[in-house]
């Protein structure tokens, strides 16, 4: 593999990883606070992509590519983020909140149910065919030396980077962020300290879902929009969250990038057939769970006896 080819795969891996990272954040934040996997997260991503697609197409009309399509795209992204945030909060309210403190399997089963409802409702409402999400800009690749970079890749990298920085600042610097961190450490104590835990949980779902919507739209530009688009992407993002150490925000970002790179280079270097590409993620998952179940940056949690 030449240097140029290496950089090409690196670039492809990074963009893929950036999207995984955005989605992984939602899993990790919810897990950090509620200690359960939001199985429906991938389907929120799908819902976000649909909303983004419809709003974008509506706003754009027949306009040719230009400044307006870019504005329309970002507007669509914002609206989709808002929609997904509300969707995420609603799901939490309806399907998870009544199960807080119940048997540990209960919220998990409920989440699987929600996931099924969402993806199949979408298939019913919007059909099982996939829809193209047009690029809001001219996606003619740019050549830097022998490396080919598309504007879409640049968009993915910059948007995911910006989102992650904002999130990191939010969690580290704001009062709400502090409340989130406190709640994830000890819900009971946080409540005693006057933190409105219900609001923190709602907020967590809102942010995670909004980020998923962004991830959904970014991935849809390359892979189209369809009802089950969230399943595999969601699972892989979850793997990314576990690799980074679930509950750990920086870990999720790192895990996402790492998984993106592993997938790209796995196919390129080790000649893993493309048909088995999806298997890489699960291989990584099982491996990491066996060797270092707390993930690369996670803390070991030991039950007190």
Partner 1 sequence: MLNFFLLILIYSGIYALMAMGQNIITGYGGMLSLTQAGFFAIGSYVTAILTTQAGWSFWATLPVAFLVSALFGLLIGLPTLRLKGDYLAIATLGFGEIVRNVLNNWDSLTNGPMGIQRIPMPVILGFTINPYKKYAFLVMVIVFVIIAYILFQRLARSRMGRALAAVREDEIAAQSMGINITKYKVYAFILGASVAGIAGSLQATFTLSVTPGTYTFMVSVMVLCMVVLGGMGNFKASILGAFIIQFISYFPQLTGLSSVIPPQFKQILFGLILVVMMIWRPQGILGREATRYRKRAVTPTGGEQ
In the complex, the residues that contact partner 1 under the rule CB under 8 A are 31, 36-37, 94-95, 98-99, 101-110, 112-121, 123-124, 231, 235, 238-239, 242, 273, 275-276, 278-279, 281-282, 285-286, 289-290, 293, 303, 305
Shortest distance (Å) from residue 290 CB to partner 1: 5
Burial 187-209 (b: 16+ CB within 10 A, else e): beebeeeebebeebbbbbbbbbb
Nearer to partner 1, 136 or 251 (CB): 251
Name every residue whose Cβ is closer than 8 Å to that of residue 92 and which is 6 or more positions away in sequence.
201, 202, 205
Distance CA 31, CA 44 (A): 16
Residues 231, 119: contact at Cβ < 8 Å? yes
CB of 39 to partner 1, least distance (A): 8
Residue with Cβ nearer partner 1 (42 or 136): 42
Least distance between partner 1 and beta carbon 122 (Å): 9
Residue 225: both structure tokens together: 């929009």
Q: Which is nearer to partner 1, 118 or 267 (CB)?
A: 118
Q: How is residue 7 written in tokens? A: 């950089």
Return the number of the residue (62 or 303) whose C-beta is nearest partner 1. 303
CB of 80 to partner 1, least distance (A): 23
Q: How far is the CB of 52 from partner 1 (least distance, A)?
A: 22
In this structure, are residues 144 and 69 in contact, taking their beta carbons and an 8 Å threshold? no
Contact 209, 30 (CB under 8 A): no
71/112 with CB nearer partner 1: 112
């Amino acid at each position: 593999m030449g240097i140029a080819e290496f950089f090409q795969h690196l670039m492809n891996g990074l963009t893929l990883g950036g999207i995984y990272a955005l989605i992984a954040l939602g899993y990790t934040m919810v897990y950090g606070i509620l200690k359960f996997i939001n199985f429906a997260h991938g389907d929120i991503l799908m819902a976000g992509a649909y909303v983004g697609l419809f709003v974008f197409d509506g706003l754009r009309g027949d306009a040719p590519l230009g400044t307006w399509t870019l504005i329309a795209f970002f507007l669509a992204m914002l609206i989709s983020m808002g929609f997904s945030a509300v969707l995420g909060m609603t799901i939490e309210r309806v399907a998870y909140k009544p199960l807080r403190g119940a048997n540990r399997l209960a919220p998990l089963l409920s989440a699987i149910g929600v996931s099924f409802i969402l993806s199949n409702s979408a298939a019913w409402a919007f059909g099982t065919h996939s829809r193209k999400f047009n690029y809001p800009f001219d996606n003619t690749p740019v050549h830097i030396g022998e490396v080919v970079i598309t504007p879409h890749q640049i968009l993915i990298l910059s948007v995911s980077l910006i989102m992650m920085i904002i999130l990191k600042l939010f969690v580290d610097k704001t009062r709400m962020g502090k409340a989130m961190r406190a709640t994830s450490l000890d819900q009971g104590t946080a409540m005693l300290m006057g933190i409105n835990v219900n609001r923190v949980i709602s907020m967590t779902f809102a942010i995670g879902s909004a980020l998923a919507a962004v991830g959904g739209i970014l991935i849809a530009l390359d892979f189209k929009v369809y009802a089950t688009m969230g399943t595999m992407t969601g699972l892989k993002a979850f793997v990314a969250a576990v690799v980074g150490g679930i509950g750990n925000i920086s870990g999720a970002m790192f895990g996402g990038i790492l998984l993106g790179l592993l997938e790209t280079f796995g196919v390129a270097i080790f000649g893993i057939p493309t048909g088995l590409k999806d298997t890489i993620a699960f291989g990584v998952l099982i491996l990491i769970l066996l060797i270092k179940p707390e993930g690369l940056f996670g803390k070991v949690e030991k039950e007190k006896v």
